[in-house]
C-alpha cells in the first residue's frame, strides 16, 4: 500500500480536531461540512472491503430524512445488504483516527481481514439531491483512487437503487441488470403484469390515481424517469418534487408519521390515495382524509399486514407448504400482531429495533415480510421458494393455481429484496389494492390501531438500562420491570416497554392501551418510574 500517497491525499481531507462519530444503522450522519474526511476514508474502506470480499461494494452519500444541511454515508455489502457489523467498527475506527494513526488503523484492518492488496477493487457510488452531496462523493472517489480501486459513479440515485445495483453486479446479472434502465424495466414489467391480472378480474373505473409526496428529494427525479414505463391506467401525481422547497422540510414520510398530519404542498381531498416517501426513498407511508376531514395514517404495520394477507392467500391457492412469517419490533401496534396471528394465522416474530435485525430474521423463512412502523421494509423470498414459484408459474396445469403462481412470481420481481425501497413498495401496494379491489378505507379498516404514546426521558447514563426479549423486558436497573408490570395491570389491553437510545443518553418509552387517555397516562407513569429508578436528569416528566 502506498502510504505516502494516502498521507498526501488525506491531508487534503483533514479531520476536524476532536470530532468523534459512530457508524450506526444509518451509517455516519452529521452536518455536511464536518464530513469531508469521513467520505475520503470511507472511499479507502470500501476498497479494502471490496478486496476482502472479492466483490463490488457500494457507497451511498445521503442523510435520508435528516434536514438538508446534514449529510451522511453508508456502505453496501456484496448482496446489497447493510455493512457487516465488524466492518461498522472498522468504519468508526477509521473515521475517528487522527492523521498520524491512519496508517496503523488501515494496516490493522488489512491484517485482521487478510486483505490482498493486489486484488482488483470495484466500488459503486450514488448520492442524493443535497447541495453538499456532489462534492462529498468526489471525496469518496479520491479515497478509492488513491488505493488504486476502480469505481462507477451512478450519480443521483435513491438509496435502494444503489443497493439493487450492487446486488445485480455481484450475482453476475442474475438479480437483474446493474443499470437504472434495468431497474425500471424489471420493476415495471412485473407491475404491468400484475395490473393486467387486476384489470381482467375487475370491472368499472380502471383509472387509478395516486398522489405522491416526494419529500423534495431524489424520489421525485426517479419517479419522473420511471413514469413512461407505467401502464396508462396508473396515474401518479408528484408533489414536493424539489423544484421549490427544501429537502424534508415539513414533508416526507418521517414528518407525516411523527406529526400524524399531511405534508405541506399536497392538497388532499376526501378519500384520495396519498403516500409520502422519505428523502432517499427507502421508506413509505400511506394516508387519506375521510369525508369528515379526519386524517388517517397507514403506517408500516398496516403495509406489512396488507402484503402478508395477499401473499398468504396466494400461497394457499398454489397449495404449497411454503412458510410465511412477519417480523416486527416491539414498536409494532398490538392490534396488528393480534390480527396477523389470530385471524390470518401468520406467525409473527419480534426482534430488536433496527432494520438489520428484521432483515436477518426474515431470511429464516420461505417468505419473510418485515416493516418498521416508520414505513421501511420489504419481503424476502428464499432461493428454494423462488425456484418453486417460478416452476409452478411455468408448468402448473391447473389454471387457477398457475395464475396464482404467476402473481407470486411477478410480486417477487416487483419487490426489491435487498432493502426497503419506497418506489418498489409503492408499486406492490398499488398492485395489491387493484387486485383485491380495496379502497383506502377498507384497507385501513382491516384492524383498528390501539391508541399509543411515545415519550423519552433524559438520563445521566443510558448504559444503566439493559433489556432482553427483543427489548420488551428490562433486566437492569433492578425494580424497574416490576414497576412497569404493576402500572400495565391498571389499564385494559395495555402494554409498555422502555429501551435506551442507541446514540444519546435518553430512554425511549412506548405505551398502548384501550383509550388514548389511558395510553397517555401509562406512558407518563412509566416515564416517572424511569426517571426515578434509572437516573433521570433535569425536572421530572410532566403529564
Residue 402, annotated ligand binder?
no
Peptide bond into 477 cis (omega under 30): yes
Grid coordinates in use for 351?
426482534
Residue 495, annotated ligand binder?
no
Element (H, E) at 92: helix 85-96
As to burial, measured by CB atoms within 10 angstroms (0-12 exposed, 13-18 middle, 19+ buried), residue 395 is exposed
Residue 182, annotated ligand binder?
no
Three-state SS at 474:
strand
Residue 305, annotated ligand binder?
no
Residue 64, annotated ligand binder?
yes
Residue 373, annotated ligand binder?
yes
Residue 335 appears among annotated catalytic residues? no
Three-state SS at 11:
coil
Residue 500, annotated ligand binder?
yes
Residue whose entry in the numeric block shows the C-alpha cell 430488536: 352
Kindly report the backbone phi and psi dihedral angles of residue 208, in degrees, each rounded to the nearest multiple of 5, phi listed first: -120, 115
In eight-state DSSP terms, residue 72 is: E
Element (H, E) at 334: helix 334-338
Distance, first Cα to last Cα, the chain: 60
Distance CA(154)–CA(156), nearest Å, equals 6
Residue 501, annotated ligand binder?
yes
Catalytic residue among 10, 50, 64, 424: 64
Distance CA(412)–CA(23), nearest Å, equals 32
Q: Which residues contact 532 (CB under 8 A, 6 or more apart)?
A: 540
In eight-state DSSP terms, residue 459 is: B
Residue 282, annotated ligand binder?
yes
Residue 9, annotated ligand binder?
no
Distance CA(256)–CA(212), nearest Å, equals 12
Helix axes 3-10 and 102-112, enclosed angle (nearest 10): 130
Residue 280, annotated ligand binder?
yes
User: Which residue ranges are tagged as binding site for Mg(2+)?
Assistant: 64, 278, 280, 282
Catalytic residues: 64
User: Which residue ranges are tagged as binding site?
Assistant: 64, 278, 280, 282, 372-374, 499-503, 508
User: Which residue ranges are tagged as binding site for substrate?
Assistant: 372-374, 499-503, 508
Amino acid at each position: 500500500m502506498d502510504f505516502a500517497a494516502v498521507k498526501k491525499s488525506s491531508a487534503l481531507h483533514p479531520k476536524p480536531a476532536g470530532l468523534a462519530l459512530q457508524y450506526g444503522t444509518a451509517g455516519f450522519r452529521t452536518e455536511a461540512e464536518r464530513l469531508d474526511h469521513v467520505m475520503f476514508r470511507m472511499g479507502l474502506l470500501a476498497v479494502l472491503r471490496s478486496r476482502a470480499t472479492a466483490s463490488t461494494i457500494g457507497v451511498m452519500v445521503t442523510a435520508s430524512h435528516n434536514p438538508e444541511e446534514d449529510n451522511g454515508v453508508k456502505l453496501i455489502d456484496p448482496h446489497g445488504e447493510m455493512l457487516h457489523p465488524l466492518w461498522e467498527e472498522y468504519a468508526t475506527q477509521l473515521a475517528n483516527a487522527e492523521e498520524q494513526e491512519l496508517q496503523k488503523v488501515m494496516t490493522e484492518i488489512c491484517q485482521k481481514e487478510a486483505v490482498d492488496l493486489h486484488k482488483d477493487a470495484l466500488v459503486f457510488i450514488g448520492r442524493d439531491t443535497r447541495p453538499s452531496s456532489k462534492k462529498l462523493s468526489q471525496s469518496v472517489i479520491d479515497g478509492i483512487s488513491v488505493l488504486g480501486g476502480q469505481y462507477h459513479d451512478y450519480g443521483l440515485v435513491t438509496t435502494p437503487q444503489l443497493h439493487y445495483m450492487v446486488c445485480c453486479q455481484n450475482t453476475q446479472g442474475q438479480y437483474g441488470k446493474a443499470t437504472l434502465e434495468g431497474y425500471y424495466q424489471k420493476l415495471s414489467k412485473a407491475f404491468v403484469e400484475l395490473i393486467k391480472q387486476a384489470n381482467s378480474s375487475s370491472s368499472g373505473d380502471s383509472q387509478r390515481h395516486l398522489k405522491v409526496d416526494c419529500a423534495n428529494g431524489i424520489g421525485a427525479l426517479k419517479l419522473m424517469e420511471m413514469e413512461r414505463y407505467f401502464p396508462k391506467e396508473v396515474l401518479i401525481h408528484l408533489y414536493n418534487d424539489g423544484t421549490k422547497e427544501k429537502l424534508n422540510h415539513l414533508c416526507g414520510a418521517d414528518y407525516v408519521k411523527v406529526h400524524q398530519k399531511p405534508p405541506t404542498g399536497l392538497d388532499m381531498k376526501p378519500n384520495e390515495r396519498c403516500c409520502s416517501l422519505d428523502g432517499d426513498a427507502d421508506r413509505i407511508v400511506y394516508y387519506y382524509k375521510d369525508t369528515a376531514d379526519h386524517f388517517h395514517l397507514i403506517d408500516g404495520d398496516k403495509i406489512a399486514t396488507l402484503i402478508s394477507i395477499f401473499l398468504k392467500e396466494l400461497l394457499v391457492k398454489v397449495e404449497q407448504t411454503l412458510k410465511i412469517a412477519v417480523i416486527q419490533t416491539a414498536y409494532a401496534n398490538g392490534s396488528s400482531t393480534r390480527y396477523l396471528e389470530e385471524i390470518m394465522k401468520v406467525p409473527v416474530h419480534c426482534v430488536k429495533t433496527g432494520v438489520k435485525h428484521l432483515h436477518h430474521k426474515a431470511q429464516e423463512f420461505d417468505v419473510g415480510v418485515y416493516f418498521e412502523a416508520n414505513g421501511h421494509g420489504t419481503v424476502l423470498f428464499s432461493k428454494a421458494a423462488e425456484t418453486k414459484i417460478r416452476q409452478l408459474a411455468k408448468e402448473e396445469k391447473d389454471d387457477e393455481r398457475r395464475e396464482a403462481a404467476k402473481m407470486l412470481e411477478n410480486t417477487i420481481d416487483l419487490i426489491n429484496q435487498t432493502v426497503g425501497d419506497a418506489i418498489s413498495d409503492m408499486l406492490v401496494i398499488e398492485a395489491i389494492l387493484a387486485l383485491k379491489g380495496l379502497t383506502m378505507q377498507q384497507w385501513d379498516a382491516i384492524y383498528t390501531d390501539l391508541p399509543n404514546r411515545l415519550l423519552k426521558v433524559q438520563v445521566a447514563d443510558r448504559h444503566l438500562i439493559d433489556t432482553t426479549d427483543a427489548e420488551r423486558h428490562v433486566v437492569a436497573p433492578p425494580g424497574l420491570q416490576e414497576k412497569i408490570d404493576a402500572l400495565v395491570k391498571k389499564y385494559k389491553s395495555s402494554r409498555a416497554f422502555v429501551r435506551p437510545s442507541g446514540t444519546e443518553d435518553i430512554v425511549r418509552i412506548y405505551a398502548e392501551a384501550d383509550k388514548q387517555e389511558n395510553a397517555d397516562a401509562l406512558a407518563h407513569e412509566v416515564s416517572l418510574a424511569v426517571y426515578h429508578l434509572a437516573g433521570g436528569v433535569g425536572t421530572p416528566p410532566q403529564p
